[in-house]
Structure 1
Amino acid sequence: MTALIRTRATRTMQTVRWYLRELTGEAEYDRYCERHRRHHPQAPVPTRREYEVLRTLRREEHPQSRCC
């Protein structure tokens, strides 16, 4: 019974961690790094800060309609 509770607790924590990573955008950066390594294997991967700057510039250059 203890193993079952531990398994459920572990699964719950993994789910919470996944959700928080998606919510904060950390998972988006990880996906970007994987894609960058695949398409540009020789180029260095931008740091998180560099990625955020690039992302902000892209959003400013290509605005999408927003409600507010």
Structure 2
Amino acid sequence: MTAAALVRAARRFRWFWRELSGESAYERYLAHARSHDPRAKVLTRREFERRRTDEREADPREGFRCC
């Protein structure tokens, strides 16, 4: 395997991992918010994650479960 192929594989794995873990959700939020109104105040990372967690817990279909 060449070095270029290893780099491509590492990039794909990084993209996959960030999508799977939800790490890229904040970046998508920023892009969306800035595309609609570049001067609008956006949530901080902490505020974004708190709101996302609160919305998930409030939804009975996706709420946290103990088991």
- Bigger share in helix: 1
Unpaired runs of 5+ residues, structure 2, are none
Greater RCO structure (CA 8 Å; 6+ sep): 1
What is the Cα-based RMSD across aligned positions, in Å? 1.9
TM-score scaled by length of structure 2? 0.74
One-letter amino acid matched to 1:65: R
Q: Give the share of equivalent positions with the same residue, in percent.
A: 40
Structure showing greater Rg = 1
TM-score scaled by length of structure 1? 0.74
One-letter amino acid matched to 1:36: A
Aligned partners of 2:37 and 2:60: how far apart in 1? 27
Describe the superposition over 1:24-65 as per-residue Cα deviations: whole angstroms up to 9, x where unpaired.
21111111110011112211221111101121233344x252
Say yes or no: does 1:40 pair with 2:40. no
Say yes or no: does 1:14 pair with 2:8. no
Runs of 4+ in 1 over 2 A off after TM superposition: 56-61
